[in-house]
Amino acid sequence: NAGVTQTPKFQVLKTGQSMTLQCAQDMNHEYMSWYRQDPGMGLRLIHYSVGAGITDQGEVPNGYNVSRSTTEDFPLRLLSAAPSQTSVYFCASSYSTGANTGELFFGEGSRLTVL
Amino acid sequence: KQEVTQIPAALSVPEGENLVLNCSFTDSAIYNLQWFRQDPGKGLTSLLLIQSSQREQTSGRLNASLDKSSGRSTLYIAASQPGDSATYLCAATTGTASKLTFGTGTRLQVTL
């Protein structure tokens, strides 16, 4: 009964380094998304996917890439880390019925610090 | 652009008190509104989801209402307990791509 699993939980990067945050869900959800949470700004959508092979940009996509080769996995790649990307990142998934995604299930989060 | 606001940002109540958390949104063309709970250092847990055609949803001591015309939702917590201490966030789903817009949350502390 894993739900949404994110790795790593903590990561420290130097400016300019790249890395991938992993997200996997075992609920056969079509919809998956990545958010970042910053103090005073709430959660903001980075990228989302409505199914394997389909991705789209959210509110703050710059500096991040995603792909969705399987239903289960939705990795988030930081191409060249910047201090402004220091944040807590959450992956979330839900079943999809067109525009109405339904109840959203979240992972435990990945805390990223960029020096 | 949808904007979601939660007031107050923080709230402290004694155990046993009934309380109401507020959520307002600017675009009434929502598909649904969700309430979440977040404990420190943890992810978000969905509490209640209200579809746009519904007026309210209940789960145990929690009751959430939705008034699209006024752009408001409330989360009512009955007989509060110290274990209810957490941050509560609401999120509205709008647009053709199922985008959720989150409020910044209300941090609730229930004291003994």
- Alpha-carbon distance A31 to B58, whole Å? 25
CA torsion B41-B46-B47-B49 (nearest 10°) is 150
Q: What's the pLDDT score for residue B16? A: 97
Instruction: Specify the residue for token string 């992972």.
Output: A107
Tell me: pLDDT of A86 over 80.
yes
**What span, in angstroms and rounded, lies between the C-alpha atoms of B41 and B70?**
34
| Contact check, Cβ <8 Å, A100/B91 | no
3-state secondary structure of B92: strand
CB neighbourhood size of A69 (10 A)? 10
Beta-bridge partner residues of B34: B49, B91
Give B22-66 pLDDT, tens digit per residue: 999 999 999 899 999 999 989 999 999 998 999 999 999 999 999
Distance CA B72, CA B50 (A): 12
Count A/B contacts: CB-CB distance under 8 Å: 69
Q: Are A3 and A104 a contacting pair, CB within 8 Å?
A: no
Interchain CB distance below 8 Å, A104 and B32:
no
Which among B49, B91, B96 is the nearest to A102, CB-wise?
B49
Evaluate if residue B96 carries a pLDDT over 80. Answer: no
For residue B22, the distance in angstroms to the closest alpha carbon of chain A comes to: 16
Where does chain A show beta strands of DSSP type E?
4-7, 10-13, 19-25, 31-38, 42-51, 54-57, 64-66, 76-78, 87-94, 105-106, 110-114
CA atoms within 13 A on the CB side of B73: 37
pLDDT over 80 (residue A101)? no
Cβ within 8 Å, pair B44-A90: yes
Q: Give me chain A's average pLDDT, please.
A: 92
pLDDT at B14 (0 to 100): 97
pLDDT of residue B1 exceeding 60, the answer is yes
Find, among A30, A28, A9, A22, the residue nearest to A91 by Cα. Answer: A22
User: What residues of chain A, 29 to 88, have a C-beta less than 8 Å from chain B?
Assistant: 31, 33, 35, 40-45, 48, 50, 56, 58-59
From chain B, pick out residues whose CB is under 8 angstroms from the CB of A103: 34, 46, 49
In angstroms, the CA B109 to CA B10 distance is 8
